[in-house]
Amino acid sequence: MTIYDLEEILRIAQVNPLIYCVNGTREEAICLLPKGFGGEWVIFIQERGRRFDEKVFSSEDEACVAFLKKVFFYVK
């Protein structure tokens, strides 16, 4: 899965785009970003300018799957 696939799934599922941010950061959102140039990706929750519950993944696919699970868990 790529971030483009991920964004399409989130759009089709009509997930509120204010609760997540793909390839960027947003306050009070679950964020997904590439980490440096080594192919790693990071997921975290941004609150008050700080990162919480940060997890690093070795591939885009692995990060996208984990991000999707986190977002769907959050919206329940």
Question: Beta-carbon neighbour count of residue 44 at 10 Å?
Answer: 19
Which pLDDT belongs to residue 16? 94
Mean pLDDT by 10 residues, the chain (76 residues): 96 95 94 91 95 96 96 81
Contact 42, 30 (CB under 8 A): no
In whole angstroms, give the CA distance from residue 56 to residue 32: 10
